Copies of this chain bind each other. A is one copy, B any other.
């Protein structure tokens, strides 16, 4: 027969993964503290295995569990010299849940179990505190009634309120023993009325029913939701901790509290926490009386205070981690009821890790591993004031597409945003669209952040936002945007926000607020820099940035980027005069016409590249040739079409027929990337000319330009041959004309399954690969990132998959293709440089994958560079451990 129940003394090493999974974290830490001699009230734990079998058996106890609980209870009674619910010398216990990961408040707890009509009397006379005894009984009936018997709480609360009212007092503590006795009898009447039978007096019945209730709470709605959101295992089960009660409500020499060994908000080493005198645990949470800070305890109970301060040290010394623990003081004696790793802000996480290294508690490696890379997001963007935001209601919630906070006037048209900004450059605008398009780029530039009703976390708005380091909430399906009419609404809430009304967005949570919430500056202190230096010393992967402008490049370099992994040249074609020349090129019927227009674009492109080379002096700059389909550069609105026709001096019909001819059913799979270059080589030739001329100019100015020319949307070996020849021939001609040689590399953006399959052949003509995981994910799955939102949320709900594959590299599918490419490519060319430049380059899980498959670097948006650096260090350290 299996062992389902362990007393706290039986397990010596509680702080291990195995113990935590078997006993639940709470149970395991109770064992750990017990074995370290900390003052833990004795008790025992039913394993999570017991819970799992409970479910397997259709909510029945596995064979043996009953006997084992009985045996452990008897042992506990013997140890305590008391008997559960006894009428002379009663033992009382708490019954608490506890899974492998702490799920605070999600499952059930019952305190004071063992209370009945007789034990309450015995307890009162034993403790000489009748009031405390009846108060505990009252609390027990209420909790048991709620959790086990499923009676609505307000029924009990109503009685309590009425009693206080009748007596004319405000606090429970002002009720005396007699009042409480009356309440208890009224509580019992409620139970009888609701359930048709008496409140159970038998302590064993109380215990088994409570264990059942805790098991069952594993699958209650809020626990299921919590696990879904936090991506926790549904099959783990909860442990059940049965622990002898200590009472914080025994009078003014008793109390209860919660403490952190360091400040979880800012990381300072101080006595953080709070307590209540003469109270049980739930009173702290309930917030009826205001708890006092830890150091205030000194004046009430100096001895217990001393013990508590020592406990801070013992816990940190033992766990080598900041702890969040609960304590109760019963008649001046301190007991610990629970400890766990303390949750903290990013800022605190960084400070604590660095401080602990300095204090000699942990190593540099450990310090680096202590900070979750994703958490750094909080350090890199302005935030909504956390206090002020509490006062505002969330009116809608979309996808957390780009972190940071934006506050400004709602504007529904990019053109208008631009106009407003031109009139008043201090104007704060939040651009709100059903979806954004490349035409909106200038309006996006002048906005604080973006909110879109459609599009995923890799939609245009989201990608641009992350590139610009601006906040974005995308795919906010709850809202309907009426661009023309100038408002948006949240139909489910009957809310309508008109143009120029102020809204606030949190791009890190996806929350949208009506009205203005003040912003707080990001806090970047010395410890952050120090930690990042340590991280860099451990990581093996290079970290580059995706940047299209010298400004972005500079920002990223400040964040530690070691090069540009992706410069999207097309973003350069949308501004001012450039878009005109681009359109002229597209509308030209002849090669000469196209060349003429391209000649106008050349100086712009050249200047752009020069700026990038300057900003990245000495570092690689990967420039991708024109990628999007040409129709993206043409106007859509009737008015814009007319304006264009007038400007170009051609007929409206001509413009329309070009737009019509370029229309595509599936632009994602259409006429784009190197396909454009093969049909119209003159476009790529102009771009190569601009790159090489900029490199030559750089060299003459003493700047070390390291251009890497990247060919997009490639799937055939002959495409690569064609492009390599085109690039080399163009470069050679320019170098001859200019009488100056510069070095450059030619590589390929690997973003189609076919390219991965023939990577060995492509590698013969390429010096580097860079995985474009957005498109590779789209084609491997057959998911359009713009459309898949419709079903991806259902897929997550129905657990068809665990992670959105656009957030994190799908290792089973896309990852296999990446692995295949790396291995085939390096077989042809062992020195092949291989990176990743899709959106996932800044996702820690994906960074770990990239490290493991041997990539040379990852590239991500500037504001994710520190995250990727830390993630790369984590990957290297984990790899070393293996």
A interface residue numbers (CB < 8 A to B): 664-671, 675, 678-679, 713, 715-716, 718-719, 722, 751-754, 757-758, 775, 778-784, 786-788, 790-791, 794-795, 798-801, 810, 812-814, 816-817
Contact = CB atoms under 8 A, between A and B. Distances in A.
Contacts of A753: 753, 779-780, 782, 813, 817
B780 A678 contact: no
B665 A757 contact: no
Contacts of A754: 780-782, 810, 813-814
A806 to B, nearest CB: 12
B787 A665 contact: yes
Contact of A718 (B664, B780, B790, B800): B800
A671 B798 contact: no
A786 B668 contact: no
Contacts of A788: 669-671
A572 to B, nearest CB: 23
A753 B757 CA distance: 10
Contact of A758 (B757, B790, B813): B813
A665 B784 contact: yes
A240 to B, nearest CB: 32
Contact of A786 (B665, B718, B816): B665
A425 B781 CA distance: 46
14 contacts: A666-B666, A666-B668, A666-B669, A666-B784, A669-B787, A669-B788, A678-B794, A678-B798, A715-B781, A718-B799, A753-B817, A754-B780, A754-B781, A779-B779
Given A678-B798, A719-B800, A757 B668 contact: no
Contact of A779 (B678, B716, B780): B780
Contact of A716 (B668, B778, B787, B800): B800
A780 B758 contact: no
Contacts of A786: 664-666
Given A668-B669, A669-B787, A787-B669, A678 B715 contact: no
How many copies of this chain are found per oligomer? Answer: 2
Most buried by B among A675, A719, A812: A675
Contacts of A679: 790-791, 794
B719 A784 contact: no
Contacts of A671: 787-788, 790-791
Contacts of A801: 716, 718
Given A678-B795, A794-B679, A752 B667 contact: no
B781 A752 contact: yes
Given A664-B787, A678-B798, A753-B780, 8 more contacts: A667-B787, A671-B787, A678-B794, A713-B782, A752-B781, A757-B812, A757-B817, A779-B779
A107 to B, nearest CB: 27
Contacts of A779: 669, 753, 779-780, 782
Given A757-B813, A780-B753, A813-B758, A798 B722 contact: yes
Contacts of A718: 799-801
Nearest to A666: B784
A206 to B, nearest CB: 41
Nearest to A669: B784
A794 B676 CA distance: 10
A675 B791 contact: yes
Contacts of A715: 780-782, 813
B782 A669 contact: yes
Contacts of A810: 754
A848 B783 CA distance: 31
B678 A758 contact: no
B752 A670 contact: no
Nearest to A435: B665
A757 B816 contact: yes
A715 B782 CA distance: 8
A112 to B, nearest CB: 45
Contacts of A778: 669
Across the A-B interface, the 5 shortest Cβ-Cβ residue pairs? A669-B784, A666-B784, A754-B813, A753-B753, A670-B787
Contacts of A752: 780-782
Contacts of A794: 678-679
Contacts of A668: 665-666, 669, 782, 784
A100 to B, nearest CB: 23
A591 to B, nearest CB: 14
Nearest to A679: B794
Contacts of A678: 791, 794-795, 798, 800
Nearest to A810: B754
A790 B794 CA distance: 36
A701 B812 CA distance: 47
Nearest to A814: B754
A750 to B, nearest CB: 11
Contacts of A800: 678, 716, 718-719, 722
A719 B718 CA distance: 36
Nearest to A800: B718
B817 A787 contact: no
Nearest to A798: B678
A421 B715 CA distance: 46
A720 to B, nearest CB: 10
A668 B790 CA distance: 14
A670 B665 CA distance: 12
A759 B808 CA distance: 22
Contacts of A751: 782
Contacts of A783: 669
A105 to B, nearest CB: 31
A774 to B, nearest CB: 12
Contacts of A780: 715, 752-754, 757, 779
A669 B667 contact: no
A667 B788 CA distance: 10
A435 B800 CA distance: 37
Nearest to A459: B665
Contacts of A817: 753, 757
A794 B674 CA distance: 12
A752 B817 CA distance: 13
B782 A775 contact: yes
A342 B28 CA distance: 88
A713 B791 CA distance: 13
Contacts of A790: 670-671, 679
Nearest to A660: B434
A203 to B, nearest CB: 45
Contacts of A814: 754
A781 B794 CA distance: 28
A380 to B, nearest CB: 31
Given A678-B795, A678-B800, A784 B664 contact: yes
Most buried by B among A675, A679, A754: A754
Contacts of A719: 800
A784 B670 contact: yes
A657 to B, nearest CB: 9
Most buried by B among A716, A782, A795, A813: A782
Most buried by B among A751, A779, A794: A779
A818 B424 CA distance: 60
Contacts of A781: 715, 752, 754
